[in-house]
Protein backbone atom coordinates (compact mmCIF):
# COMPACT_ATOMS: atom_id res chain seq x y z
CA UNK A 1 0.00 0.00 0.00
CA UNK A 2 2.84 2.38 0.85
CA UNK A 3 4.56 1.40 -2.38
CA UNK A 4 1.43 2.32 -4.40
CA UNK A 5 1.19 5.68 -2.62
CA UNK A 6 4.85 6.42 -3.39
CA UNK A 7 4.29 5.56 -7.10
CA UNK A 8 1.25 7.87 -7.32
CA UNK A 9 3.24 10.67 -5.65
CA UNK A 10 6.16 10.18 -8.07
CA UNK A 11 3.85 10.18 -11.12
CA UNK A 12 2.07 13.31 -9.91
CA UNK A 13 5.45 15.03 -9.34
CA UNK A 14 6.65 14.10 -12.84
CA UNK A 15 3.43 15.39 -14.43
CA UNK A 16 3.81 18.67 -12.57
CA UNK A 17 7.19 19.27 -14.27
CA UNK A 18 5.58 19.57 -17.72
CA UNK A 19 2.55 21.75 -18.21
CA UNK A 20 -0.33 20.31 -20.25
CA UNK A 21 -0.66 21.28 -23.92
CA UNK A 22 -2.57 24.49 -24.58
CA UNK A 23 -3.68 26.53 -27.53
CA UNK A 24 -3.63 29.78 -25.58
CA UNK A 25 -0.61 31.11 -27.49
CA UNK A 26 -1.88 30.27 -30.94
CA UNK A 27 -2.93 33.00 -33.32
CA UNK A 28 -5.18 32.44 -36.32
CA UNK A 29 -2.93 32.19 -39.36
CA UNK A 30 -0.08 30.35 -37.61
CA UNK A 31 -0.46 27.61 -40.20
CA UNK A 32 1.59 28.48 -43.26
CA UNK A 33 -0.45 29.36 -46.33
CA UNK A 34 1.19 26.51 -48.23
CA UNK A 35 -0.29 24.05 -45.74
CA UNK A 36 -3.88 25.09 -46.31
CA UNK A 37 -6.16 26.05 -49.16
CA UNK A 38 -6.16 29.51 -50.70
CA UNK A 39 -8.72 32.07 -49.64
CA UNK A 40 -12.02 31.63 -51.51
CA UNK A 41 -12.95 34.21 -54.12
CA UNK A 42 -16.17 36.18 -54.24
CA UNK A 43 -18.96 35.08 -56.56
CA UNK A 44 -18.57 36.94 -59.85
CA UNK A 45 -21.22 39.33 -61.14
CA UNK A 46 -22.70 37.77 -64.28
CA UNK A 47 -25.11 40.50 -65.30
CA UNK A 48 -24.74 40.73 -69.07
CA UNK A 49 -22.76 37.48 -69.36
CA UNK A 50 -23.47 35.38 -72.46
CA UNK A 51 -22.35 32.20 -74.20
CA UNK A 52 -20.36 32.58 -77.41
CA UNK A 53 -18.24 30.45 -79.70
CA UNK A 54 -14.56 30.55 -78.86
CA UNK A 55 -12.74 32.77 -81.34
CA UNK A 56 -9.61 30.64 -80.86
CA UNK A 57 -10.65 27.00 -80.38
CA UNK A 58 -13.16 25.16 -82.55
CA UNK A 59 -15.58 22.92 -80.65
CA UNK A 60 -15.60 25.18 -77.59
CA UNK A 61 -18.00 27.77 -76.19
CA UNK A 62 -17.17 30.32 -73.53
CA UNK A 63 -19.31 32.11 -70.95
CA UNK A 64 -18.60 35.57 -69.72
CA UNK A 65 -19.16 39.28 -70.04
CA UNK A 66 -18.21 40.48 -73.53
CA UNK A 67 -14.74 42.02 -73.56
CA UNK A 68 -13.70 40.39 -70.27
CA UNK A 69 -11.92 37.07 -69.55
CA UNK A 70 -14.16 33.98 -69.65
CA UNK A 71 -15.73 32.63 -66.48
CA UNK A 72 -16.54 29.14 -67.79
CA UNK A 73 -15.96 27.14 -70.95
CA UNK A 74 -17.42 23.97 -72.43
CA UNK A 75 -15.37 21.99 -74.88
CA UNK A 76 -16.06 18.89 -76.93
CA UNK A 77 -13.37 16.32 -76.21
CA UNK A 78 -12.69 12.65 -76.77
CA UNK A 79 -12.59 9.94 -74.10
CA UNK A 80 -11.30 7.38 -76.61
CA UNK A 81 -14.50 5.54 -77.44
CA UNK A 82 -16.99 8.40 -77.10
CA UNK A 83 -17.15 12.18 -77.13
CA UNK A 84 -16.79 14.04 -73.85
CA UNK A 85 -17.59 17.45 -72.47
CA UNK A 86 -14.78 19.41 -70.89
CA UNK A 87 -15.98 21.91 -68.29
CA UNK A 88 -13.43 24.55 -67.33
CA UNK A 89 -14.17 27.02 -64.54
CA UNK A 90 -11.82 29.96 -64.74
CA UNK A 91 -11.49 30.45 -60.99
CA UNK A 92 -8.12 30.06 -59.28
CA UNK A 93 -7.40 26.57 -57.97
CA UNK A 94 -4.56 25.39 -55.76
CA UNK A 95 -2.00 23.26 -57.57
CA UNK A 96 -3.00 19.56 -57.63
CA UNK A 97 -6.32 20.32 -55.90
CA UNK A 98 -9.37 18.12 -56.37
CA UNK A 99 -12.98 18.77 -55.54
CA UNK A 100 -16.57 18.51 -56.68
CA UNK A 101 -18.45 21.00 -58.83
CA UNK A 102 -22.11 21.36 -57.94
CA UNK A 103 -24.38 22.35 -60.83
CA UNK A 104 -27.95 23.22 -59.92
CA UNK A 105 -30.69 24.29 -62.29
CA UNK A 106 -33.16 23.28 -64.98
CA UNK A 107 -34.76 20.84 -62.54
CA UNK A 108 -31.49 18.91 -62.06
CA UNK A 109 -28.57 18.69 -59.66
CA UNK A 110 -25.19 17.34 -60.73
CA UNK A 111 -22.04 16.76 -58.74
CA UNK A 112 -19.03 16.37 -61.00
CA UNK A 113 -15.44 15.70 -59.86
CA UNK A 114 -13.02 18.48 -60.82
CA UNK A 115 -9.24 18.78 -60.69
CA UNK A 116 -6.86 21.71 -60.91
CA UNK A 117 -5.07 22.01 -64.24
CA UNK A 118 -2.46 24.45 -65.49
CA UNK A 119 -3.64 26.82 -68.24
CA UNK A 120 -1.50 29.73 -69.42
CA UNK A 121 0.48 29.89 -66.19
CA UNK A 122 -2.55 29.69 -63.89
CA UNK A 123 -4.27 26.82 -62.14
CA UNK A 124 -8.00 26.42 -62.87
CA UNK A 125 -10.75 23.85 -62.32
CA UNK A 126 -11.53 21.25 -65.01
CA UNK A 127 -13.83 18.27 -65.38
CA UNK A 128 -14.20 15.82 -68.24
CA UNK A 129 -17.38 13.81 -68.47
CA UNK A 130 -18.93 11.58 -71.11
CA UNK A 131 -21.09 13.63 -73.47
CA UNK A 132 -23.83 11.07 -72.82
CA UNK A 133 -23.77 11.38 -69.02
CA UNK A 134 -27.11 12.15 -67.40
CA UNK A 135 -25.22 14.63 -65.20
CA UNK A 136 -25.12 16.99 -68.20
CA UNK A 137 -28.91 17.35 -68.27
CA UNK A 138 -28.46 20.23 -65.83
CA UNK A 139 -26.89 22.16 -68.73
CA UNK A 140 -29.44 21.29 -71.42
CA UNK A 141 -32.40 23.36 -70.21
CA UNK A 142 -33.07 27.02 -70.90
CA UNK A 143 -33.35 28.28 -67.32
CA UNK A 144 -30.78 29.93 -65.07
CA UNK A 145 -28.37 27.60 -63.30
CA UNK A 146 -25.52 27.91 -60.83
CA UNK A 147 -22.09 26.31 -60.68
CA UNK A 148 -20.25 26.16 -57.36
CA UNK A 149 -16.67 24.93 -57.13
CA UNK A 150 -14.45 24.86 -54.02
CA UNK A 151 -13.14 28.35 -53.37
CA UNK A 152 -14.54 29.62 -56.68
CA UNK A 153 -17.71 31.24 -55.47
CA UNK A 154 -21.12 30.70 -57.02
CA UNK A 155 -21.22 31.30 -60.77
CA UNK A 156 -24.69 32.04 -62.13
CA UNK A 157 -25.24 31.02 -65.76
CA UNK A 158 -27.91 33.17 -67.35
CA UNK A 159 -30.69 31.36 -69.26
CA UNK A 160 -29.60 30.14 -72.69
CA UNK A 161 -30.32 27.39 -75.17
CA UNK A 162 -26.67 27.47 -76.33
CA UNK A 163 -25.33 24.90 -73.84
CA UNK A 164 -27.98 22.32 -74.77
CA UNK A 165 -27.26 22.79 -78.48
CA UNK A 166 -23.53 22.49 -77.85
CA UNK A 167 -23.91 19.23 -75.90
CA UNK A 168 -26.18 17.76 -78.60
CA UNK A 169 -23.66 18.72 -81.31
CA UNK A 170 -20.86 17.12 -79.32
CA UNK A 171 -22.87 13.93 -78.81
CA UNK A 172 -23.41 13.73 -82.58
CA UNK A 173 -19.72 14.23 -83.38
CA UNK A 174 -17.68 11.19 -84.33
CA UNK A 175 -15.19 10.06 -81.72
CA UNK A 176 -11.62 10.70 -82.87
Note the pLDDT of residue 71. Answer: 95
Tell me whether residue 39 is in a domain: no
pTM of the model: 0.76
Closest CA to 75 of 148, 154, 139: 139
Which structural domain range is residue 88 located in? 51-172
Tell me whether residue 25 is in a domain: no
Q: Does residue 141 contact residue 107 with C-beta atoms inside 8 Å?
A: yes
Mean pLDDT check: name the lowest of 138-142, 165-169, 172-176. Answer: 172-176
Overall domain count for the chain: 1
Note the pLDDT of residue 113. Answer: 97
Tell me whether residue 64 is in a domain: yes
Tell me whether residue 57 is in a domain: yes
Tell me whether residue 164 is in a domain: yes
Tell me whether residue 148 is in a domain: yes
Tell me whether residue 142 is in a domain: yes
Tell me whether residue 99 is in a domain: yes
Amino acid sequence: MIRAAVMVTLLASAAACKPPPTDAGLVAGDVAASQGPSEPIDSPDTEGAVWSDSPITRGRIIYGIPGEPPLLALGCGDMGDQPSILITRYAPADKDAEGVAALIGNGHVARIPVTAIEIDGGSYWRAEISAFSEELEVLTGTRELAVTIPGGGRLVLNPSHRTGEFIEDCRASPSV
